[in-house]
Structure 1
Amino acid sequence: MEQREIELTILSAQDLKNVKLSGGAMTPYAVAWIHPNYKVSTPEHGQGGVKPCWNSVLRLTCDENSFQNSRITIEIYHHGSFSNKLVGTVTVSLSDFNSQRQASGSEGSSEKRFGSYQVRRPSGKYQGVLNLSVKVGKLVKQAEHSQPAWGAPEDVQINKSDGKDNQPVTAYPAAVPYAMSSSQAGPSGPPQQYNYPPSGYPPQYAQPAAYYQQAPPYPAPYPTYVPPPRRSGLGGAGFGTGLLGGALGGMLLGSALDGGGGCGGGCGGGCGGF
């Protein structure tokens, strides 16, 4: 598919409607597109008010087969603190540049055509003028552009210049990713390549992760046997009583033996005297 390059230069505007609710000077910028999915924007003109000056070069593309029926839409906004408010809209029909396109052929034209267009308010009334120029460029193949198959949503403004330079702003934004179901997803990439070790070397295995097993808890100690206290009855004191009785018996026996010797001696002496 062949595309025709369009170079749009948005120069300035005057007598715009001041849509800043708090009063003071507006901060206007302009957004342009041929297809609503591919938009380009000028830098903001801080404190530009109702007569901003941009002098910003924007690049668009149009299908060559639909050039005659296409148009450029330009919207002017005020950049507010909380939201951006539409000031007005300008529409430029590309059929006005058909003769320039036919004369230039596939190589494009170096001629710029200047024009001033009325700004249409959201209410339908016209207020203000937008000054611009259009240059019909060369024919290019679709593959030569980075224009994605899917564009950004219509409410997303893309490729907005920061105003630091006057470089042309292209109309080829990056595609916005969107969720796809598994049945809509394309084929997966090639399988991952793995490097095998050269022959003669044992295969390398990954060191398994250390596995720490908690030691089982020690069994609870057996209960200590405590003998019951001795009873104070006869059975408990029999052994001590026997020892004491034996000792007393021995002492009495010894005393008796000692006493018997004394009697014998006495009787012997007494009897001999008679």
Structure 2
Amino acid sequence: MATHSRPPPPRPLDLDLTIVSAKHLKNVNWQNGDLKPYAVFWVDPDRRLSTRSDDSGSTRPVWNERFTLPLVVPPHETVLTLEIFHSKPSETPKPLVATLRVELKELPDPDDGSKIRTFSLLRPSGRPQGKIRLKLGIRERPLPPPHDYHFAPPSSYYYTNAPPPPRYSAPPYVSLPPPPPPPYGTPSAPVDYSPYDQKPRGGSKIGVGTGLAVGAVAGALGGMALEEGLKYEEEKIGERVEHEVTSKERDDYGDYHRPEY
């Protein structure tokens, strides 16, 4: 049994409207000044739009403004309503200048939105007064772009590919050999042979107590090192004397000659 797929639903439609100009309007504000008209229009009474006012003070206003009105019902049921008002309050509570009603089903070539069409206006009393020029066209509403669509301009457009910043790298670790051991017999700390009452060069900001404490510690370390050095020198002198005595005895026996009998 063959199955028939449902036709896709019709795409929504919009009314492409351009309000160009009007002429021969009645000046409802003639007692107070010039006419400064603007237009209010709709296809859905709950969604009304308006043009700016033409403040040139003429009964031949020019707006030349373009709008897009979503069609909430099919085109053959849609009616465009347009009303022209004076922009400043006058003695009348609602300074209505003229009105227009256009049934879209009566439009010749409804898909041609570039054609300028001229319509007659009606005064509030119902009498014809003035004309208005419009561009009307029915077109399919464009589909919105998909959510995952992203426009990526070329790399040479608006910006350039800059090189990344250099990465920080720590200096290589180098294993240094341990320092050589001190030679045998040298003191473990340097000995300061300068007198303690030597005055430092330049002005010093160290207090008397701090200087005495530092001098005491340095004196103790220097005394210990000096004692170790003197002890070492005494041992070296003893070894030298013993060596000299032994060498002399050997020389004395070496010079001895047995007498001949």
**TM-score, normalising length from structure 2?**
0.46
Q: Which has the higher contact order (CA 8 A, sep 6+)?
A: 1
TM value normalised by structure 1: 0.44
